[in-house]
A and B are shown apart, each in its own frame.
Chain A
Amino acid sequence: MKAPSAWLLALLLVAPAAHAATGGGPPPPTPTSGFTNPKEDARYHALLKNLRCLVCQNESLQDSQAGLAQDLRREVREQMRAGKSNPDIVKYLVSRYGDFVLYRPPLMGTTYLLWFGPFLVLIAGIVALFVLLRRRTRRPDPDPLPAPERRRLAALLREREEGSKR
């Protein structure tokens, strides 16, 4: 969430003053959204970021320069001006274009696995971990060396013993 921070707020307070101080140059440029209220502008962009441009290769409505994306942006602006809320706008777009337009897939029958799958794996992993830990802490210590290496160790020790006798 790239929310406007305190800086932006401070900016809003300072900017008109600075403007006045420079003796009133040209007016500041307008946002491309046409929303001069920064809150509306931010809401507009936040909304666009989570919507997909339907004809592009994985670009959001915010980023895309495609014709359809421009049309949809206009649509979103008009709906916002008409006073519709975010859920209303999203509902409208989904009714027209399907769930494909949403970057956050809705929670429904076919997406339960998508949303809960990773956490199921996590839980399964933790359960397996517990079972393993119970086993490991109870079992006696296993043979520390594999057989061939044990033989080699014995041979080395024998060699050394013989060497020291000589």
Chain B
Amino acid sequence: MIPEIGHFALVLALCLALVQAVLPLLGAWRGVPEWIAVARPAARAQSLFVLLAFLCLTYAFLTNDFSVAYVAENSNTALPWFYRIGAVWGAHSGSLLLWVSILSVWTLAVTFGSRSLPEDIAARVLGVMGLVSIGFLLFMLMTSDPFTRLFPAPLNGRDLNPLLQDPGLVMHPPMLYMGYVGFAVPFAFAIAALLDGHLDAAWARWSRPWTTAAWLFLTLGITLGSWWSYSVLGWGGWWFWDPVENASFMPWLVGTALIHSLAVTDKRGAFKTWTVLLAIFAFSLSLLGTFLVRSGVLVSVHAFATDPRRGIFILIFLALVVGLSLLLYAWRAPAVKGGGNFHVLSRETLLLVNNVLLVSAAFAVLLGTLYPLILEGMAVGKISVGPPYFDTVFIPLTLPLVFLAALGSLVRWKRQPFRALIGYVWLPLVFCTAAGMLFSFWYLGRVHALLVVSVIAAFWVMLLSARDIWWRVRRNLAGGTRWYRVPRHVLGMALAHFGIGVFVLGVALAGTGSLEKDVNMHPGDAVQLAGYTYRFDGVTETRGPTYTATQARVTVSRDGQVLATLYPQKRIYIVQNMPITKAGIRPGLLHDFYVSMGEPTSDGGWAMRLYFKPMVRWIWLGPLFMALGGLLAAGDRRYRLAVVRQTQPKERAAVRPATQPLPASPGGS
């Protein structure tokens, strides 16, 4: 019964999505207030039905309803309840349902957060989101209904993919999708503005908090994924340039460019058409990411689903979304003019350089991801594009960004006197260069050019971001204001840029300072690594809810003092008979001890891989700072003030009926 309700809720949601898309868009075009007024109720009802369907599927998982084919394929009675919830999005159909459910969450947020917007703009935004929702609901109902029944129902399910039975994976997809799908909001704003023909600073200000919110979720999602692959895959790496990782990274890069471009459009009214184009690209790349992952077109560690019918549907949907958006853009954008003038050395110019670099970097990732597919499709050869390519191409494009990020708040809008800028930066530059070189030499004992440059860049951006806040605090103290009165968007930017430094430092130091050894160990053997002794104490058999495991014990000590006991495992997941290695990790702010088990060797030992990984936690700490910065910036007062003032224009309109109702003050979250 419950699964049928879920299925029915999806059908109803599709009908409501049609209403949500068609009537408000037509109403805004023809100027029919009644049709415009349909937007919010239809959007809310649509969202609630999608969320109801999601709850129904969750219920089916929690109650082990194996008469539902999707539950039977992805769950098991032995699976703990929290993994059963995670299993809802553990495979294709459910992750689509998650996609649409998260779109519903964003849609609901827009219906509430758009109250200060002019009605017709809000209606257009919700209408565009309805169109996106139609596409995905149709996709789900036509090719991958998660509620299909299975008859006769099996006694037990086939269990969740063992790789996914990890707390990181319960959280990773929702976060990632919050980001992916979140870019539908700035996309909808961009399309609405193009349809409306009014691309102005107000549009940019409405889009900003939404874009930042989506970006911060995407940042968290990618970080979680990276942390998950480090702790589960057992290869000690945190980023593999795997096509699926790239699929989430491309919208992030373009989304980062969008955040910066929106700042210029909001503050200075410039680059409007470029900003619109970025909003379209960010969402298109999110769709491309969904397509790449969900169509099975990629052969990668993450590709769980393979069904060409689905691939073709998403491809057509993608082509429609991108094609129509770009057509609309080509039609409307040439009419858009304006924006203030600026000098060669100005914040506008630097932000444009930021955009050029970020877009080039995103293009590099796109090329590296799609090139093997294209060559194979054209039958002109089969190549692999792996980490060596990305390291060579990506780093020269992104390292300059780190240097530029530090200048973010120093350089003025419109025109920055060159001498004054030099006055601000020469001392930190000298200091960071010296400190970076000394530090690198101390750390590695030899000159490693990339390490030196990275460490200097990291010090530089951390120092200047911190100094920026310190200057503000000092000014507040001198001016008699409370010292902590720093605008949130300024604090957010400084924190996010500081996070870049933390991240770069982590990547550079973990990358060059990591040590590893592949050894054949017998119980009692000890190996020296980085001055620590890793001793293999032996193996024991153990079991978990869905697996049996061979667990090794490795103690790490220094000068006879035990510092960590690690329990790497080799698990066999019973239902799917699939072996998984689980690394034994002792995390630390300055270094991790990390051991993963290989195969038993012919002479009765075990192939063990031992790692010493310095500073690896900083790789995830940096993005956490970035996300926190995004949170602060998205919650800035300048976006919320609008809500307080929202009633004013109406009162004015009542006083002066002759004047047309004007766009309300900028609004947002």
Which A residues contact B (CB, under 8 angstroms)? 1-8, 10-11, 14-15, 18, 25-26, 28-33, 41, 45, 49-50, 52, 57-60, 62-63, 65, 98-106, 110-111, 113-115, 117-119, 121-122, 125-126, 128-129, 132-133, 136-137, 139-144, 146, 148-149, 151-152, 155, 159
Contact = CB atoms under 8 A, between A and B. Distances in A.
A110 B381 contact: yes
12 contacts: A6-B444, A28-B525, A50-B388, A57-B300, A63-B235, A105-B389, A114-B389, A118-B361, A119-B393, A125-B360, A144-B269, A144-B340
Given A32-B518, A129-B352, A133-B344, A58 B385 contact: no
Given A105-B385, A113-B367, A122-B397, A65 B599 contact: yes
Contact of B517 (A5, A31, A106, A110): A31
Interface of B: 198, 200, 235, 240, 242-243, 269, 299-301, 303, 337-344, 349, 352-353, 355-357, 359-361, 363-364, 367-368, 371, 375, 380-389, 392-393, 397, 444-446, 511-522, 524-531, 598-599, 601, 605, 607, 656, 659-660, 662-663
Contacts of B269: 144
B300 A26 contact: no
Given A58-B242, A118-B361, A32 B601 contact: yes
A30 B520 contact: yes
A125 B242 contact: no
Contact of B240 (A45, A58, A106): A58
Residue in A98, A113, A132 whose Cβ sees the most chain B Cβ within 10 Å: A132
B285 to A, nearest CB: 15
Given A26-B524, A58-B242, A125-B359, A11 B516 contact: no
Given A5-B444, A114-B389, A117-B363, 10 more contacts: A1-B512, A6-B445, A26-B525, A28-B528, A105-B384, A115-B393, A118-B363, A136-B341, A144-B340, A146-B200
Nearest to B357: A122
B190 to A, nearest CB: 18
Contacts of A25: 526
Nearest to B612: A7
B340 A29 contact: no
A60 B242 CA distance: 11
Residue in A60, A62, A136 whose Cβ sees the most chain B Cβ within 10 Å: A136
B651 to A, nearest CB: 12
A110 B384 CA distance: 13
Contact of B301 (A59, A101, A111, A113): A59
Contacts of B353: 129
A118 B599 CA distance: 41
A155 to B, nearest CB: 6
Contacts of A141: 340-341
B423 to A, nearest CB: 23
Given A11-B531, A142-B339, A57 B299 contact: yes
B446 A6 contact: yes
A24 B409 CA distance: 61
A8 B235 contact: no
Nearest to A63: B235
B386 A118 contact: no
B184 to A, nearest CB: 26
The 4 closest A-B pairs by CB, nearest first: A103-B386, A6-B445, A125-B356, A104-B388
Contacts of B339: 142
A28 B659 CA distance: 88
A29 B363 contact: no
Contacts of B368: 114
B356 A2 contact: no
B519 A30 contact: yes
Nearest to A48: B518
A114 B371 contact: yes
B522 A118 contact: no
Contact of B519 (A31, A50, A104, A106): A31
Nearest to A127: B356
A118 B387 contact: no
B342 A103 contact: no
Given A28-B527, A142-B338, A58 B301 contact: yes
A145 to B, nearest CB: 10
A126 B356 contact: yes
A38 B511 CA distance: 19
